[in-house]
Amino acid sequence: MPPEHKPQQTLNQQPDNGPAPAPALAPTPPLIRVTQPHLPPLDEFIPYLEQIWESKFLTNGGQFHQQLEAALCEYLGVAHISLFANGTLALMTALQALGIEGEVITTPYSFVATSHALLWNGLQPVFADIDPVTFNLDPARIEAAITPRTTAIMPVHCYGIPCDVRAIERIARRHGLKVIYDAAHAFGVRQDGASILRHGDLSVLSFHATKVFNTFEGGAIICHDAATKRHIDLLKNFGIQDEQTVVAAGINGKMNEVSAAFGLLQLRGIDAALAQRRQIAAHYRRLLAAVPGIDPMPDMGDDANNSYFAVLVRDTYPISRDALHQKLHDAGIHARRYFYPLITHFPMYSAIPSAAPANLPHANVIANQVICLPIYPALDAQDVERIVGLLAAS
C-alpha cells in the first residue's frame, strides 16, 4: 500500500495490538500568550444568570445594564456612560452622535477599528504622525493637518498612555473641532488625580475579552451631559423614542444583560487585577533595566492601567525585532507586534495622501521596533523572569 493510503492513526483510534505509545514529546512549558482574559470564579456568576432566567429580561436596558452604567460612572469617576455591544459600534455611534462630517484627523498607530469607524461613517481619515515617546498623536502634526474640511480629531490613548489632552483641547477650541478619544486601552487610567476619560467631547471604551476590563464583548461612550447621553442611547437603539416614534436612523448597539451582569461581577475584582498588572510591569521594568537595546514604554506609575507592556527593540539590540519575535514564539511566548503593520499600510488606507510613510516617519519607526510582552493578572513572576531571560540572551 503506498504510504499516503495508510489509515491515519488518531488519538481516538488505538492500534489493535496494545495501548498507544506515550507521546514522545519532551515536556514543554505551557504556551504564554500576550494576554489572557481575566475571569472571576464561575460559581460567582451563576446567581446573576439565575436572575436573568427568572426575569426573562435579556436585553434592551434591563436591570443589569442600568446597574453597570451606574457602577462604572462611580468607579471611573465620570458623569455619564452609555454601554454598547462592543467598542467599534461605540466609536461609530460616537461619530454619528456629534454629526461629524468631512475629514477627521487620526493616528496610524492603533488597532484598525479606530479608522474603520471613520470609513463606516463615510468620513475621510487624515493621518498625522505620532510622538515617538508616548506613541500618541503629536499635537503639532495635528494642527499642520487641519484643512477647511476638518471637523474632528480622533486620537487614541495608546497602551493607556494619556494623549497630550491639553494641547489637543487648545487646537480643537482654536479651530472649532470636536474631539473623540478612542480610549479602548485606557480603562481606569488617571491623570492629575482624575480620570483621563473626562477629556474630549466623547471618549470610547472597549470591554473586549483582551482588554483590562472585559464583558466578553462590550464597549461604552463617556459623555459629559444628560442630553448627549439621551441622544446616544437613542442612536444605539435604532433611534426609537417610544412605541410609535423613531427619531433617528439609529443602529443596534446595545449591550445585553448577560454581558452587563458579567461586568458587575468583573468590577468587583478590577482593583486586584490592576494591582497585579502593576506588579508585573514593575518586575519587567526592574529586570529589563539590565538589557541594553530594549526600551520599555514610559512609566506612568500608579496612574497607569498596564493594559499592555510595549518595549522598543532598538538598533543597538543584537538581533532584529522580528528575529526576537520569532525567538520568543519558538519558546512558546506569543508576544505581539502591536501596532505593526500600521493602519496606513492596509489597502483601504494606503492610497490616502496622508498615509504616505514620508508623512509618518515616527509611526513607521516605532511600528518596526515595537513588541508587546505578555501581561495579564495571572502571569507569574517566574514567567516574567523567563521572558526577560530570553531577551537578555540574544
- The helix/strand/coil state of 311 is strand
Between residues 88 and 150, which has the closer beta carbon with respect to ligand PLP?
88
- The helix/strand/coil state of 88 is helix
With CA atoms as reference, report the closest residue to 212 among 196, 188, 183. 188
Pairing, β 219-223 against β 190-191? unpaired
DSSP state letter for 150: E
- The helix/strand/coil state of 257 is helix
- Binding of ligand PLP at residue 153 (CB under 6 A)? no
Binding residue for ligand PLP (CB under 6 A) from 88, 256, 266, 306?
A: 88
Between residues 317 and 339, which has the closer beta carbon with respect to ligand PLP?
339
Q: Residues 161-193, buried b or exposed e (16+ Cβ, 10 A)?
A: bbbbbeebbebbeeeebbbbbbbbbbbbbbbee
- Among positions 214-243, residues that touch ligand PLP (CB under 6 A) are 219
Between residues 185 and 336, which has the closer beta carbon with respect to ligand PLP?
185
Task: Identify which range of 54-62, 107-115, 245-253, 295-303 contacts ligand PLP by CB under 6 A.
Answer: 107-115
Binding residue for ligand PLP (CB under 6 A) from 93, 110, 151, 266?
A: 110
Nearest-CB residue for ligand PLP = 87
- Binding of ligand PLP at residue 184 (CB under 6 A)? yes
CA angle centred on 206, ends 159 and 361, rounded to 5° = 35
- Which amino acid would we find at residue 180? I
DSSP state letter for 71: H
Asked whether the beta carbons of 161 and 150 are under 8 A apart, the reply is no
Task: Identify which range of 86-94, 267-275, 310-318, 347-355 contacts ligand PLP by CB under 6 A.
Answer: 86-94
Q: How many residues make contact with ligand PLP (CB under 6 A)?
A: 14
Closest contact distance (angstroms) between CB of 263 and ligand PLP is: 13
- Lay out the site mask for ligand PLP across 277-316 (x = CB under 6 A, - = otherwise): ----------------------------------------
Instruction: For the chain, state the CA radius of gyration.
Output: 23
Binding residue for ligand PLP (CB under 6 A) from 32, 69, 78, 87?
A: 87
- Binding of ligand PLP at residue 131 (CB under 6 A)? no
Torsion of CA 188, 215, 383, 285, to 10 degrees: -20
Between residues 179 and 184, which has the closer beta carbon with respect to ligand PLP?
184
Closest contact distance (angstroms) between CB of 210 and ligand PLP is: 7
- The helix/strand/coil state of 207 is coil
Task: Identify which range of 160-168, 182-190, 296-304, 385-393 contacts ligand PLP by CB under 6 A.
Answer: 182-190
With CA atoms as reference, report the closest residue to 75 among 239, 195, 225, 217. 195
Between residues 195 and 203, which has the closer beta carbon with respect to ligand PLP?
203
- Binding of ligand PLP at residue 182 (CB under 6 A)? yes
CA atoms lying within 13 Å on the CB side of residue 27: 1
- Asked whether the CA dihedral 37, 43, 48, 51 is positive or negative, the reply is positive
Binding residue for ligand PLP (CB under 6 A) from 206, 259, 354, 364?
A: 206
- Contact residues for ligand PLP, defined by CB under 6 A: 86-88, 110-111, 113-114, 156, 182, 184-185, 206, 208, 219
